[in-house]
Amino acid sequence: MLLIDAGNTRVKWALAANDATPGDWLEHGAVTHADLPQLELAWSEAVARHGVGRIVIANVAGNALRVQLEYVLQRAFPALDLDQAITWFASVPALAGVTNGYRNPAQLGCDRFAAAIGGHALAPGQSIIVANCGTATTIDAVTADGFFLGGMILPGLGLMAGALARNTAQLPRIAHDAKLPDGFADNTDDAILSGCMVAQSGAIEHAFAQHGAAMCILSGGAAPHIAPLLTVPYRLIDNVVLIGLHASVADTEPF
């Protein structure tokens, strides 16, 4: 099966055997929205090597990206009936051992629901915080028995730094991979970086303490930069949304 996480900046994908453990990929990759046409060749080659019969997509980037994805998939898999093969993942009241506690379950972002499922699959029987640090940072709480309590959304690391650069005349734009200073910053570049990084890690640790969590599942493009600041137990996971999509398939009827 082909699993696709269409986020606000990148499209992540993984190819997995139907009976594989979630996260055990045959192949995987990621492209920016601008490079989406490159996936036609990558997916064509993947299907030639392994075959694809089912496609599961979590899309939070809107209808325009959905149309682009459908076009690339049609070209990559001309022999596949995409109307039958594609499942557009959506938030529902309960799936794969996770109960959706949102006031309106359908309103929960499908990426957050998939990440909660992925986190619960990775840490069954543990109360967890799932922090997905991408364009936006989402921080969600899941109980040990799989109840999704809700969470918080804040600008991601890049958005925070970029907003300061755009809206404050004398503040520079800071590279996201710059080194965090020790202690208090003694220059403006480091002060911006320190403030943004500590805001991210502090929000995660606040949620961790409020939930009384045992583990933080940390994922997303900015996660490796935020992880060293955390003082709570965490697992750094490459793509928790894809893992959640994979786990969700095991809880549905065979295709």
Active site residues per annotation: 111
Q: How far is it, in rounded angstroms, from Cα 230 to Cα 147?
A: 24
Q: How far is it, in rounded angstroms, from Cα 202 to Cα 248?
A: 31
Residue 60 DSSP code: -
Phi and psi at residue 141, to the nearest 5°: -110, 130
Amino acid letter for position 40:
E
3-state secondary structure of 241: helix
Instruction: For CA atoms 201, 226, 98, 121, give the dihedral sign.
Output: negative
Please name every residue paired with 10 in a beta bridge, in sequence order, or none if there are none. 32
